[in-house]
Amino acid sequence: MSTPATIPFDRLARTALFVQQILKDNHFSFSLLGGFQLQAMGSPRGTQDVDFVVKRPFFRGVDKIYHAFSEHPDTFKVIPVTIKDEIRIICVTEGVGVDILIQELPESLDQICIAVDEKEEVMPCFPMQSMVFKKINCLAVRIEGSDLTDLEWLHDNCQHEITWSKIAAKVKQSGDIEKAVKNFPTETHPFMAKLLEVLGIDDQVSAQK
Order across the sheet with 110-116: list the strands: 76-79, 86-91, 96-102, 49-54, 30-33, 119-125, 110-116
Domain ranges of the chain: 9-125, 128-208
Per-residue pLDDT tens over the stretch 30-71? 999 999 999 999 999 899 999 999 998 777 778 889 999 999
Closest C-alpha among 63, 41, 51 to residue 15: 51
Other C-beta atoms lying within 10 Å of the C-beta of residue 51: 19
The distance in angstroms from the start CA to the end CA of the chain is 30
The pLDDT of residue 91 is above 50: yes
- Rounded-to-integer distance, Cα 70 and Cα 50, Å: 18
What's the mean per-residue pLDDT of the chain? Answer: 90
The pLDDT of residue 197 is above 70: yes
The percent of residues in the chain predicted with pLDDT above 90, rounded, is 79
Instruction: Report whether 201 contacts 177 (CB < 8 A).
Output: yes
What CATH architecture applies to the domain 9-125?
Answer: 2-Layer Sandwich (3.30)
Instruction: Report whether 32 contacts 112 (CB < 8 A).
Output: yes
